[in-house]
Structure 1
Amino acid sequence: MEVAVSQKALKYALETAFSHLESVARGFNNDGRALGSKLRTRSRSMPALMFDTGLLPTLTFLWAKAGDETYKKVYGLLEKEEQPQAKGELGGKEKRAPSLEELSYALYLYGVLKFLCHNGILSTDSVADPKSAIESLVRSGINNVMASLRLLEPYLVELKKLCEAAYEEEKE
């Protein structure tokens, strides 16, 4: 059982750290290495936050830092292959492009929600909407939330190791 969980965690960590990151970097015309450095920072700090404050407060923190609009764009890109709109295509409204920081939080949140979905904790619809995911976890009760956190641990560890191996530390 333990080996299967670790292999599944590694599979999804590989997707987040490489496939999804490259898709997001390309989709938003960003440097994959710079986004990787940001994701590396997230992967180093978020597990401690999850185990110190809990899964639900960490999910709300990630969602707040990513921003709802950025998360929806990242989700659309990864799930539906929707390309983000260029500034000139926004119907006269000039919206700024998401920062690398926002993209890294959105990518990390997406990875966590997707992993919980693939393990039967969340529905597919919950991955599309962080509010729905958080509400679903709240309704499921404290025991399920604690079990979800334990289930996430191998994924978080593998993601951290991969990001540390593949990407440089952020330059300050």
Structure 2
Amino acid sequence: MHLNPYGEDAVRLALSLVLDPPPSSAALATRCAGAGIALERPARPADLAETAAYLHRWLSVVDATGAERAARLNDLLRETAAYPRLTDHAGDGWHIHYREPDQSLASLLRTLISVGTALHLSGRGMHRLGRCAAAGCERPFADFSRTGRQRYCSHACGNRDAVRRHRSKVRDR
């Protein structure tokens, strides 16, 4: 059984690449291979720059809400996704791809992340992307929680913010 690689894993990879950008195209390829992406072509130096430019645009989806978020994501999808197709490119079973065969790594990432983000938002809720609510932290996050109420990028930021609020209440007494 193949799990759909377009969704949570693709969004997690996007966040990983945004929060800890790889320093080289080889590091980008290593990170992608570690995420389970079958690389059909070697990474090129241009893949790193093209991926960084795409992720900058992807962050505009994170920062938008509602209909504007959908419009921005639809623009990315229009530029990246191909018609769905069955493939057994890795010889490990048939599964669906939303991309052209033999794409560059940057093009492959644009497609995986765009379609993955669309599936994440349409399946879990359009509010499931955001920026950390902790003062001084603007890290992006994707909400994969069961309740869909995540406000912080990490438990550490949530705890720091709770301590800050508590100290503020104690001081105001």
Q: Which structure shows the higher strand fraction?
A: 2
> With CA pairs under 8 Å and 6+ residues apart, which has the higher RCO, 1 or 2?
1
- TM-score interval, normalised by the smaller of the two chains: 0.3 to 0.5
Query: TM-score scaled to structure 1, two decimals?
Result: 0.40
Q: Which structure shows the higher helix fraction?
A: 1
Query: TM-score scaled to structure 2, two decimals?
Result: 0.40
